[in-house]
Structure 1
Amino acid sequence: MTLEEYRSDFNAAAKGSASMPIAGACVWLAIAIISTQFDERTGVLILLFGSGAIFPLALAIARVRGEALISSDNPLAKLMGLCVLMVNLLWAVHIPLFLYAPTFVPLSLGVGLGLHWVVWSWIVQHPLGIVHAVLRTILVAVAWFTFPENRLLAIGLVIVFVYGISIWQMLTRSYTTHITSRSNPTPKSGAV
């Protein structure tokens, strides 16, 4: 298959790829709300463990939506899997921050867990992933500086807002493309 055919296959199997951001929005919203009931360190601890719920929740949502969240056949799906691994390698930063400077964890997780959107954007050839990653990074940083007493709440709400924009775009964009096989082109009208 060509790169374009793999992209088309990725898009068709993923059915818009909305399950992960829906799960992410749900978890970040829950964490933002729960954070109002605890001190900062406990809220950050809830964030650390709560962010681990995104993937299992996304698997359940994908099952309901008929979305192929995991695929071993398409190399672009494997690339997304490697991007998730790349993002998770940042736990080597998040955990020391929790131990020595917990106030930075909402910033590091808020930005770090959104980095894979850039690669997703390249795969599907749509700018919404880049817009998501850039907007999320900027707004998370602004929220972190602007609301020092309620960082986790502010960052959680900012991320849910950005997810909302992205989910809407993902569900309303056309993610299916029709590819004509080069080995078996569609005959032109009048052709024998």
Structure 2
Amino acid sequence: MPTQRTLEAQRLEFAQRPLIATPIAGLIAWSVVAISALFLDSYSVSIVLFIATGMIVYLGMFISKFTGEDFLSKDKPKNTFDSLFFYTVGMSFLVYAIAIPFYLIDITSLPLTVGVLTGLMWLPISWIIQHWIGVVHGVLRTLCVLVAWYLFPDSRFLAVSVVIVLLYLFAIAVLYHRWRQLQVQT
């Protein structure tokens, strides 16, 4: 009978991963939204935003095959924190129940609501990997998205997207550096 790994052992195992596949997917999705905002009207960009952000998890699953994370690998042992991560992804989908009604009232509310609400999943990641990046990304994302939304009322889709793209670039760099440091230590 195989021995069961403790939650702490599984948390440590999860934290040893690069954890960049999903942020890279988010970077791509929000970049597509930003580029679309340069050429399309608000309604068309909102459709792009719905599709692009709805595809982040699927794009992340694909990218994970190239980052060594391989979310869907059948070869690695089950890890409770993989399940928790996918629950946070589910939480991000559920927040559309807040975003959509506001979108129906004010189309330009969409980048604000989706940008902030989907950024909430970064907080549990900080706890799981015991690193500051998730809290910093989540808090900065909330504050900067809100500020950009107010400062650029005529370019909300573009301004919010640019903020999120820049924060993703920062987070990916920090996560990659963190992972490289872990590789040196082992």
Q: TM-score range by the shorter chain?
A: 0.7 to 0.9
SS in 2 for 1:106: helix
Supply the RMSD in Å over aligned alpha carbons. Answer: 1.7
Q: CA deviation at 1:82?
A: 1.1
| In structure 1, distance between residues paired with 2:130 and 2:139 | 16
CA deviation profile, 1:128-160 (whole Å, cap 9, x unmatched): 100000011110000000000101101101001
State which of 59, 75, 78 in structure 1 corresponds to 2:80.
75
Which aligned runs of 4 or more in structure 1 are off by greater than 3 angstroms? Answer: 174-178
Q: How many angstroms apart in 2 are the aligned matches of 1:70 and 1:114? A: 23
Tell me what 1:159 maps to. Answer: 164
In the alignment, the residues of structure 2 paired with residue 70 and residue 165 of structure 1 have an alpha-carbon distance, to the nearest angstrom, of 26
**Matched residue type, 2:63:** I
Residue deviations 1:36-91 (CA, integer Å, cap 9, x gap):
11111221121111212212211121111221335781111111111111121111
Pairing 1:122-161 to 2, within 5 Å after superposition: 122-161=127-166
Matches within 5 A, 1:36-55: 36-55=38-57
Between structure 1 and structure 2, the one with the greater Rg is 1
1:105 is the counterpart of 2:103: no
CA 88–175 in structure 1, closer or farther in 2 if over 3 Å, else same: farther
Structure 2 Cα separation of the partners of residues 4 and 49 of structure 1 = 36
2:57 and 2:89 in contact (8 A); partners too: no
Match of 1:189 in 2: none
Matched, 1:85 2:90: yes
* Equivalent residue, structure 2, for 1:25: 27
What is the CA distance between 1:27 and its match in structure 2? 1.0
Unaligned segments of structure 2, at least 5 residues: none
Deviation at 1:2, TM superposition (A): 3.1
Determine if contact 2:54/2:93 at 8 Å carries over to the other structure. no
Amino acid at match of 1:125: Q
State the TM-score, normalizing by the size of structure 2: 0.88
Verify the 8 A CA contact 1:62 1:68 in the aligned structure 2: yes
How many aligned residue pairs are there?
176
Residue 114 of structure 1 aligns to a residue whose secondary structure is: helix
Please tell me whether residue 5 in structure 1 is matched to residue 9 in structure 2.
yes
Between stretches 33-42 and 148-157, larger displacement belongs to 33-42
Structure-1-length-normalised TM-score: 0.85
Larger helix share, 1 or 2? 2
The equivalent position to 1:57 in structure 2, one of 56, 59, 67, is: 59
Which letter maps to 2:28?
C
Following superposition, the deviation at residue 4 of structure 1 comes to 2.8
Percent of aligned positions with the same letter in both sequences? 37
Whether 2:37 is the aligned partner of 1:35: answer yes
Shift of 1:97: 2.1
